[in-house]
C-alpha cells in the first residue's frame, strides 16, 4: 500500500503531519475521557437523578420557572414544550443547524444539546427575551429592513447569534459575522442579507456581498 | 399592455416584508409551534428494512407504556414495505421521551426481502424487483425528429459526454408535519405545507370526512421547496392519533426522517451526443437519460411531475434530435417536485455538453449560446450579463489559468413559466375605522406572499402597505393555489387588484364620494356606519403573464492540490415581468443561487448498497451551503411592467449549478462530469487520486 502513496519529497508531507497529530490527539482524548469518567462516577455516587421527573428550576428571560422534567429533557424541549417559548426552533436536534440558538449567561449555545437540568443556575435568554417591551432591537430592525429572512424559521437563531456577536464585538468585520453565524443554517439562502443586516445594526457601512440593479426593458 | 398603473406609488418600491417583525421576534407561530391544551407528541416507527413483508405489528405493549395515549398502524394486515424508513406505525404520548420508549416496545414481525438501492444495480435484468409486477427500468420513451444518424455525419464537430447528477434532498429548515385537533366540528390541522387546500382535500380523503369538516391552517411555514403539498403519511397519522387519543397531537418529523421519506430530486445519468456545423449552428442532439425517483414516479404537483424526465435539449433548438428517457426504481423514498423540477438537472446536462462542444469547435462558449439560443430576452441577457461580468476579459482557454489555484468562468441559462392561477379568489373587509383586512387562502413559503398582497392593495387603495392587514394560510379564506411552479405572486397580485378595485367602486357607491382613496380614505370608511364592507373578487386577466428567461455567469477558483472549489462570483440576469417588490425579489434570487451552489458542490443523498440505508441523514454529512460559502452575487432584474406579474422563485435556481460546473471545467481544462463536484471528483479528474496497483 505504501508504494501507491505520493513519493516522499523529504519534507514532512501533509499526510504524515495529520498522522502524527492523530496519535497525540487520540492519546490526549483517551486520558481526558478517563478523567471525565472518574468525575462522572464521583458525581453519580453522590446523587442519581431520574429516570422519572425531577424538579428543575430554570431562569429564562429574567423569570424563574419551576418545572418537573425527566433528566433527559433538553433545554430546547423544556423551552418549547413546557414553557411555550417557541421562538427557538428545532431544526435538527443534534447541534448542526442553529435554529435553537439561545444564550446561556450571554453566550450562544444550541438549546438542543443542553439538558434542562444542566441549564439550572444560569441566565437563559431566548429571542423572546430580547424585546421585553415589544420594540425591535437594532439587530431585529436591520434584519427586517434588509430582508435578512425568508421563511423565517432559522431567523430567531441567526438573530441570537448576531446579537451576541455585537454585544461582544460592536464593530465586527464581515469575517467576524461569518464566523459568528457559522453554526446557523438557512435553506432559503438569506445569508448575504444577514451579513448586511449585522453590519447595519452595528452602525457600520453596509458592506454588501450582493449588488442589484433593476433595468427597464423598454 | 397590462392594467397596472403607469406611475405606481408602492409597486416596485423596496417594501420590507410585512411579517418581518413577527419572524425576527419569534412571535410568528409555525405549524410546529402550535400549543394546545392537552397537546400530545406523535412519533413514527419506520421500517429498518429496505424491503420486507410485514406480517404483523403488535402495538399492545406500546399502548401500555407510561404516558402513551394512542398507537396506530399505518395499515392493518400484511403488507410490503419498499424502503428503509417507510412508515409502519405511530404513537402519541405526553412527551417525546414517552414516545421514544413506546416506539421501542412495538413488535414487528417481518420477513426481509431482497432490495436494491443503486441505480446501476437496479437496472440489471437480475436485480431484485422493487415492484413485483414490473421491471425496475421500463423501456425508454423515444421522441425523434429529423434524422439523427444522417445528421451526425453532416457535423463539423460532435462531442459525446456522460453527465450525472445525484439525488438531492429538500431539507427545509422546518421538517414535515403539523398539529391536528378534533372537535365537534371536525378536524383542524396546522400543517407545514405549501398547499393548504391540497392538504385539506388529502386529509378529508384519507379520513373519510367531508371536505367541509377539515380546516387547514398554515400561518407560517418553514420552507418546502416542492416537498410539502399533500398531508403526507405523517399528517394522516397525526390525525388518526389525535382521534384515538381524544387530544390534539403534534407530529413533526426529525431531521433523520426528513432524509428518508418526504421527497427528493431524482438523479440523472445523461448520455449526450451533440453536434454542430462549422459555424457553431447546432445540428444534432442524441440523448439517453435515466434517473431514479425512488419507489415511485413522484407526487404530481403543480410544480411538475417530480419524475425523472428532463426537458431536453432544454433551451436550445436542434433540428435533428432523438431523446430516450426512462426511470429506474430503487428501494428508496419517492421523489417529489423540487424547485424547478427537471430544469436544473437538464440545464447541467445540456450546458455541459454545450461547453464541451465549444471547446471542440474552438469557439467561445458564450458565442455558441448566442448563436443557438432562440429567446429574444435571453439574447439581451447574455449581452448585459457578459458586460457586467467582464466575460471578454475573464474568459480564457480551458486550463490556462496559471498556478495551483485555477480560476475559471462559465455561463448557463434558464427558462420557466410562472404564470398565475386563474382560479384564485380573495376578499377584503373594510372597517368603518378605515382599517383593511385582505383575506386569501394561500400560504407563504418564504417568498413574501403577504407582502405582495399588501403592496398591491396599498397601490390600488392609495394607502401605505402597513395600513393593510393580510390574512393568509386558512382554508376558511377564499381559495388560492398551492405555492408551486412560481405561480403565487402572479396569482395573488391580480386577485388583490381585482378585489380592491371592486371594493373602491362599492365604497364610492355606498358613500357617494367620487374618490375614496388616499387622504379621503378615513372619511369615506366612516360613512360606512356600523357595517364593515366585505367585497369578493377573483384573479383578473391581463395583470400577469408567464414565460421568463434567465442567464447566470459564474467565476470559481479551484485548488488543484486539495480539489476544493470556491465560488467567487455569480452574475444573475433575470426577467420577471412587473417587479412587485425588488427587496423580496432579490432575496429569492439570492436563495436560488445559494441553493444552486449546494446542488453544484455539496448535496448528495448517499445510500449504502449493502444495508440499503441512507448514510447521511443529517446536516453533518449532507452539506448545505453555509454563510462562508456564499459568493458575491450580482443581480440584474429586468423590469417589464407591460407583461404584468410573473413568478421568479424557480427560474433563478436553474442555471447556477450548470454555470458553476462549466466554470470548474474552464478552470481545470478537464470536465468533472458529475454533481456534486466534490474535492475527490476534482482530484480524480486531474488524475491525482492514487489508485491501488497490483
> Do residue B25 and residue A128 have CB atoms under 8 angstroms apart?
yes
Domains of chain B: 20-29+420-538 (3.30.365.10), 34-113+172-261 (3.30.365.10)
Assess contact for B542 and B2: CB atoms under 8 A. yes
Task: Using an 8 Å CB-CB cutoff, list chain A residues near B23.
Answer: 149, 152, 155-156
pLDDT over threshold 70, residue B377: yes
Helix, coil or strand: residue B81? strand
Residue A215: the pLDDT is 80
Torsion sign across C-alpha atoms B75, B78, B82, B85: positive
Task: Using an 8 Å CB-CB cutoff, list chain A residues near B625.
Answer: 189, 191
pLDDT over threshold 50, residue B568: yes
In chain B, pLDDT over 90 holds for what percent of residues? 95
In angstroms, what CA-CA distances link B35 with A81, A175, B76, B92, B656?
8, 39, 31, 15, 40
- Give B544 to chain A, closest Cα distance, Å: 16
User: CA-to-CA distance for B180 and B239, rounded, in angstroms?
Assistant: 6
Which helix (H) or strand (E) segment holds residue A45: the answer is helix A14-46
CA angle A167, A168, A170 (to 5 degrees): 65
Task: Using an 8 Å CB-CB cutoff, list chain B residues near A145.
Answer: 16
pLDDT over threshold 60, residue B253: yes
Contacts of residue B243, Cβ cutoff 8 Å, sequence gap at least 6: B182, B207
Helix, coil or strand: residue B464? coil
Residue A133: the pLDDT is 84
> Do residue A80 and residue B591 have CB atoms under 8 angstroms apart?
no
**Would you call B376 an interface residue with chain A, using a CB distance cutoff of 8 Å?**
no
The pLDDT of B110-125, averaged and rounded, is 96
Residue A46: the pLDDT is 67
Residue B317: the pLDDT is 94
Residue B527: the pLDDT is 96
- Give B23 to chain A, closest Cα distance, Å: 6
Residue A35: the pLDDT is 79
> Do residue A152 and residue B97 have CB atoms under 8 angstroms apart?
no
- Domain A54-127, architecture per CATH: Roll (3.10)
Residue of A nearest to B34 (CA): A86
Residue B133: the pLDDT is 86
Band (B689; pLDDT cuts 50, 70, 90): confident
Q: What share of chain B is helix, strand, coil (3-state, %, to 5)?
A: 30, 25, 45
The pLDDT of B114-121, averaged and rounded, is 96
- Give A20 to chain B, closest Cα distance, Å: 20
**Would you call B174 an interface residue with chain A, using a CB distance cutoff of 8 Å?**
yes
pLDDT over threshold 90, residue B246: yes
Nearest to A214 by CA among B645, B582, B553: B582
Unique residue bearing C-alpha cell 429533557 = A73
User: CA-to-CA distance for B483 and B485, rounded, in angstroms?
Assistant: 7
DSSP at B437: E
In angstroms, what CA-CA distances link A160 with A88, A99, A124, A164, B666?
9, 10, 12, 6, 41
**Would you call B582 an interface residue with chain A, using a CB distance cutoff of 8 Å?**
yes
Which of B92, B173, B549, B572 to probe by mutation at the A interface, max A CB count within 10 Å?
Answer: B173
Task: Tell me the mean pLDDT per 10 residues along chain A, length 218.
Answer: 39 48 54 74 74 96 97 97 97 97 98 98 98 92 98 98 98 96 98 96 82 74
Residue B307: the pLDDT is 62
- Give A92 to chain B, closest Cα distance, Å: 5
Residue A38: the pLDDT is 79
CA angle B282, B288, B293 (to 5 degrees): 130
Which of A187, A207, A211 to probe by mutation at the B interface, max B CB count within 10 Å?
Answer: A187
Task: Using an 8 Å CB-CB cutoff, list chain B residues near A18.
Answer: none
Encode burial over B366-384: b for 16+ CB neighbours within 10 A, e otherwise. Answer: bebbeebbebebbebbbeb
> Do residue A93 and residue B594 have CB atoms under 8 angstroms apart?
no
Pairing status of strand B186-191 against strand B177-183: antiparallel
- Give A35 to chain B, closest Cα distance, Å: 28
The shortest CB-CB distance from B21 to any of A80, A127, A144 is to A144
**Least confident residue range of B126-140, B186-200, B451-465:** B126-140
Neighbours of B364 (CB within 10 A): 17
DSSP at B613: -
pLDDT over threshold 90, residue B3: no
Q: What share of chain A is helix, strand, coil (3-state, %, to 5)?
A: 45, 15, 40
Residue B60: the pLDDT is 98
Torsion sign across C-alpha atoms B531, B532, B533, B535: negative
ipTM value, please give it.
0.96
pLDDT, greater one: B437 or A24: B437
- Domain A138-201, architecture per CATH: Orthogonal Bundle (1.10)
> Do residue A192 and residue B633 have CB atoms under 8 angstroms apart?
yes
pLDDT over threshold 50, residue B597: yes
> Do residue B255 and residue A91 have CB atoms under 8 angstroms apart?
yes
What average pLDDT does chain B have?
95
Residue A10: the pLDDT is 42
Look up the pTM and report it.
Answer: 0.93
> Do residue B591 and residue A189 have CB atoms under 8 angstroms apart?
yes
- Give A156 to chain B, closest Cα distance, Å: 6
pLDDT over threshold 60, residue B306: no
> Do residue B692 and residue A1 have CB atoms under 8 angstroms apart?
yes
User: CA-to-CA distance for B181 and B246, rounded, in angstroms?
Assistant: 8
**Would you call B177 an interface residue with chain A, using a CB distance cutoff of 8 Å?**
no
Nearest to B352 by CA among B593, B654, B662, B655: B662
**Least confident residue range of A40-44, A172-176, B282-286, B380-384:** A40-44
Question: Residue B324: beta bridge partners?
Answer: B142, B288
Please write the tens of the pLDDT for every residue from B40-99.
999 999 999 999 999 999 999 999 999 999 999 999 999 999 999 999 999 999 999 999
Question: Residue B323: beta bridge partners?
Answer: B143, B287
Contacts of residue B50, Cβ cutoff 8 Å, sequence gap at least 6: B82, B83, B84, B115, B117, B331, B332, B611, B612, B613
Residue B291: the pLDDT is 93
User: CA-to-CA distance for A100 and A154, rounded, in angstroms?
Assistant: 8
DSSP at B601: I
Task: Using an 8 Å CB-CB cutoff, list chain B residues near A155.
Answer: 23-24
Residue of B nearest to A153 (CA): B222
Amino acid at each position: 500500500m505504501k508504494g501507491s502513496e505520493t513519493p516522499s519529497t523529504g519534507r514532512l508531507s501533509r499526510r504524515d503531519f495529520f498522522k502524527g497529530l492523530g496519535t497525540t490527539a487520540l492519546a490526549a482524548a483517551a486520558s481526558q475521557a478517563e478523567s471525565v469518567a472518574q468525575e462522572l462516577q464521583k458525581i453519580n455516587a453522590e446523587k442519581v437523578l431520574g429516570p422519572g421527573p425531577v424538579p428543575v428550576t430554570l431562569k429564562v428571560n429574567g423569570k424563574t420557572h419551576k418545572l418537573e422534567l425527566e433528566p433527559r429533557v433538553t433545554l430546547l424541549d423544556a423551552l418549547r414544550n413546557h414553557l411555550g417559548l417557541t421562538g427557538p426552533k428545532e431544526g435538527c436536534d443534534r447541534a448542526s443547524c442553529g435554529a435553537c440558538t439561545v444564550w446561556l449567561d450571554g453566550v450562544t449555545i444550541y438549546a438542543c444539546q443542553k439538558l434542562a437540568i444542566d441549564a439550572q443556575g444560569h441566565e437563559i435568554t431566548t429571542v423572546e427575551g430580547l424585546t421585553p417591551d415589544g420594540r425591535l432591537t437594532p439587530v431585529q430592525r436591520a434584519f427586517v429592513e434588509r430582508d435578512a429572512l425568508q421563511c423565517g424559521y432559522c431567523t430567531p437563531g441567526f438573530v441570537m447569534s448576531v446579537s451576541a456577536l455585537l454585544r461582544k464585538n460592536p464593530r465586527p468585520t464581515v469575517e467576524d459575522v461569518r464566523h459568528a453565524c457559522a453554526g446557523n443554517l438557512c435553506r432559503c439562502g438569506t445569508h448575504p442579507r444577514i451579513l448586511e443586516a449585522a453590519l447595519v445594526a452595528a452602525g457600520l457601512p453596509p458592506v454588501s456581498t450582493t449588488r442589484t440593479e433593476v433595468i427597464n426593458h423598454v | 399592455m397590462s392594467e397596472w398603473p403607469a406611475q405606481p406609488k408602492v409597486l416596485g418600491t423596496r417594501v420590507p416584508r410585512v411579517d418581518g417583525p413577527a419572524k425576527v421576534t419569534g412571535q410568528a407561530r409555525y405549524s410546529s409551534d402550535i400549543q394546545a391544551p392537552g397537546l400530545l407528541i406523535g412519533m413514527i416507527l419506520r421500517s429498518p428494512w429496505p424491503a420486507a413483508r410485514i406480517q404483523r405489528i403488535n402495538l399492545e405493549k406500546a399502548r401500555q407504556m407510561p404516558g402513551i395515549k394512542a398507537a396506530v398502524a399505518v395499515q392493518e394486515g400484511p403488507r410490503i414495505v419498499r424502503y428503509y424508513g417507510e412508515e409502519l406505525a405511530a404513537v402519541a404520548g405526553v412527551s417525546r421521551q414517552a414516545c421514544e420508549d413506546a416506539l421501542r416496545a412495538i413488535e414487528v414481525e417481518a420477513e426481509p426481502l431482497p432490495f436494491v438501492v443503486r441505480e446501476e444495480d437496479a437496472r440489471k435484468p437480475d436485480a431484485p424487483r422493487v415492484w413485483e409486477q414490473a421491471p425496475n427500468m421500463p423501456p425508454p420513451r423515444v421522441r425523434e425528429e429529423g434524422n439523427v444518424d444522417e445528421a451526425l455525419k453532416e457535423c463539423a464537430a460532435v462531442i459525446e459526454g456522460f453527465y450525472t447528477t445525484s439525488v438531492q434532498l429538500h431539507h427545509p429548515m422546518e421538517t414535515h408535519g403539523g398539529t391536528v385537533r378534533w372537535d365537534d366540528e371536525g378536524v383542524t390541522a396546522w400543517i407545514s405545507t405549501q398547499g393548504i387546500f391540497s392538504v385539506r382535500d388529502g386529509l378529508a380523503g384519507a379520513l373519510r370526512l367531508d371536505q367541509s369538516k377539515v380546516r387547514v391552517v398554515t400561518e407560517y411555514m418553514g420552507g418546502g421547496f416542492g416537498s410539502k403539498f399533500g398531508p403526507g403519511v405523517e399528517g394522516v397519522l397525526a390525525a388518526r392519533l389525535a382521534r384515538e387519543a381524544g387530544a390534539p397531537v403534534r407530529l413533526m418529523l426529525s431531521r433523520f426522517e426528513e432524509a428518508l421519506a418526504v421527497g427528493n430530486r431524482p438523479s440523472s445519468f445523461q448520455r449526450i451526443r451533440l453536434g454542430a456545423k462549422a459555424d457553431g449552428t447546432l445540428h444534432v442532439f442524441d440523448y439517453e437519460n435515466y434517473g431514479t425517483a425512488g419507489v415511485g414516479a413522484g407526487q404530481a404537483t403543480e410544480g411538475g411531475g417530480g419524475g425523472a424526465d428532463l426537458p431536453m435539449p432544454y433551451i436550445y433548438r436542434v433540428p435533428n434530435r432523438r431523446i430516450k428517457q426512462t426511470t429506474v426504481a430503487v428501494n428508496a423514498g419517492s421523489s417529489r417536485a423540487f424547485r424547478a423540477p427537471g430544469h436544473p438537472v437538464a440545464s447541467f446536462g445540456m450546458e455541459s455538453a454545450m461547453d464541451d462542444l465549444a471547446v471542440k469547435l474552438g469557439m467561445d462558449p458564450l458565442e455558441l449560446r448566442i448563436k443557438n439560443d432562440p429567446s429574444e430576452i435571453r439574447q439581451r441577457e447574455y449581452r448585459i450579463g457578459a458586460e457586467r461580468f467582464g466575460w471578454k476579459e475573464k474568459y480564457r482557454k480551458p486550463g490556462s489559468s496559471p498556478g495551483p489555484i485555477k480560476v475559471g468562468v462559465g455561463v448557463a441559462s434558464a427558462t420557466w413559466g410562472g404564470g398565475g392561477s386563474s382560479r384564485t379568489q380573495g376578499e377584503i373587509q373594510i372597517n368603518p375605522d378605515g382599517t383593511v383586512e385582505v383575506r386569501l387562502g394561500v400560504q407563504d413559503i418564504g417568498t413574501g406572499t403577504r407582502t405582495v398582497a399588501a403592496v398591491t392593495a396599498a397601490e390600488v387603495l392609495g394607502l401605505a402597505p402597513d395600513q393593510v392587514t393580510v390574512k393568509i394560510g386558512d382554508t376558511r379564506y377564499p381559495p388560492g393555489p398551492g405555492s408551486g411552479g412560481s405561480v403565487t405572486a402572479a396569482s395573488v397580485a391580480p386577485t388583490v387588484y381585482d378585489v380592491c378595485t371592486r371594493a373602491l367602486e362599492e365604497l364610492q357607491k355606498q358613500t357617494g364620494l367620487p374618490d375614496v382613496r388616499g387622504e379621503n380614505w378615513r372619511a369615506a370608511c366612516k360613512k360606512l356606519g356600523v357595517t364593515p364592507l366585505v367585497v369578493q373578487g377573483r384573479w383578473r386577466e391581463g395583470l400577469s403573464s408567464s414565460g421568463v428567461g434567465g442567464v447566470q455567469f459564474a467565476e470559481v477558483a479551484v485548488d488543484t492540490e486539495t480539489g476544493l472549489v470556491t465560488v467567487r462570483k455569480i452574475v444573475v440576469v433575470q426577467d420577471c415581468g412587473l417587479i412587485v417588490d425588488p427587496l423580496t425579489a432579490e432575496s429569492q434570487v439570492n436563495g436560488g443561487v445559494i441553493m444552486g451552489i449546494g446542488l453544484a458542490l455539496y448535496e448528495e443523498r448517499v445510500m449504502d448498497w449493502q444495508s440499503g440505508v441512507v448514510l447521511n441523514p443529517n446536516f453533518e454529512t449532507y452539506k448545505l451551503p453555509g454563510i462562508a460559502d456564499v459568493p458575491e452575487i450580482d443581480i440584474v432584474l429586468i423590469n417589464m411592467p407591460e407583461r404584468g406579474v410573473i413568478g421568479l422563485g424557480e427560474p433563478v435556481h436553474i442555471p447556477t449549478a450548470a454555470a458553476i460546473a462549466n466554470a470548474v471545467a474552464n478552470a481545470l481544462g478537464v470536465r468533472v462530469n458529475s454533481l456534486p463536484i466534490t474535492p475527490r471528483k476534482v482530484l480524480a479528474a486531474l488524475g491525482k487520486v492514487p489508485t491501488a496497483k497490483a
